[in-house]
Structure 1
């Protein structure tokens, strides 16, 4: 049985002319649609009170568990307007599964996958005029999230949880022309047994110090490694998974375990062979990457994520070293992979993998 998120339409939608002005230059995460999805959970009632309602603030008691113990998770996916006006999601089943895994790690209740799909699709239908048109790279970014809402002070799983979805029109998060990364040996993102594989807010809050460190060194983002010694291995960037193209025709990415299982990461691995690349998932020592950049056996580096799609890496710096990659210009394979993913998402080429899900 498909779950229903009935629509309680807002009495004050943003006027059409103001919405059009936003869609012309939306930025990222700055302007939000008229509605939001909502559901609540308790042990006694399970998931209940499902609805699409007017976008509005939450009312939380100052002792709400999320404010003190960071029991929270989220997801990120996009809705794409095709040339015929239809609206599609890209691999939402993978987001739903990762949302459940994150909930299990953070001891939050499991949201049924049919609720995940129903809430997102109902919100898109309610706010369909907010999905940008055109053949560029703008889309409607969707943020499902869940948090501990019980009013109490004590370290245990919350007995009241809120689930919601909000949406915002969005341009690419990073400059597609390329970013530079700072290798931090001061901060680590995660450890074995930690929350690195979960998409929880605490991971990102803890990354801000490393991001600030990268900016002090003139870089756009941080590149994490798993230690400070010569045996340290690459993990990921501050908000993206990393890939390395080699002269042997390999597309190498750090293995899973302490890093986020990115959906764009998996997409790139599945597309690699179509570009003559052999996908390889393994530990990548920092020393190996530095040697490959120095002798030219690593020819391209790029990062991948939902918000970023594919972002070329044009420089990597660390304490006492700096490498320019590809003469400071995006690599051909990086750009080709990016274009292929966008073409599938926007319906410009056939979806031979069955990744698209129709909404409107």
Structure 2
């Protein structure tokens, strides 16, 4: 729960510093992309190789520009929130200071403000009026007036705090949305040697169209992080099948949960929402997804399947009788066992914890 002290400790100016840094990165990236295109175009490189090099540079500029544009939006999102947070913080500060500095006779105390409980009390002021030799009627009148003022000030403080919480959440949502766009654009860069690039460097194999025609498959929707220890797998699953299994993500999760319970896992430990979150961000629900561009792929261990595991990790955590990495149910079972074994629970998986805290997903 956000308290008055929390709001008064805000430092919105730090967002200005962050915005400046992000905007500088955006400007620098734009300049480097432009310089790269210029330098490649200036090379006296004729023939197919030169055409391929120039086409590839244009492709990279397009991808890089998407990152640059996303950075620009993130910088604006950060700077736009500074004024909103400053205004909200000032309103809370005023709502605290006004009753404490309430006017009255020279030695009359101000109202008491309990920041933790968000309460304003007129008790000390009423006690002071009790020492002023007033008639009972006048004292009753002053008591009523002071309590009324305290109630109004308390409502003002409560409202200011609630509005500050709303402003803070809106700022978090805006910045996270912009950050997600940066993450998405960055993932779109891929690997310079990844399969499926529109214009690859020409090779010495005689494949003059610049495409590696020996490998197919899709690029993972996930983070490209290392999933588990890379070791010698018991089996290598190869590329994705040509057909898609029947069913949908919800059904596959339910089937996997039943298998895990039969293996002795407590039902409450199998968080179906957490599994769905991982699937959404890792493969987009595609059981035939394969990541051909990250560090695992470069080492010969691409992440595969619905929850993007590498062969060695899948083999280590696959359940008996469920050893097909391309089978979505088998993939869920192995990945869930890996997640619980390494993070303690599915809710503690970094990407799940980040999403639950309104942050961008990170690979597991």
TM-score, normalization: structure 2? 0.21
Higher strand share: 1
Higher helix share: 2
Larger Cα-atom Rg: 2
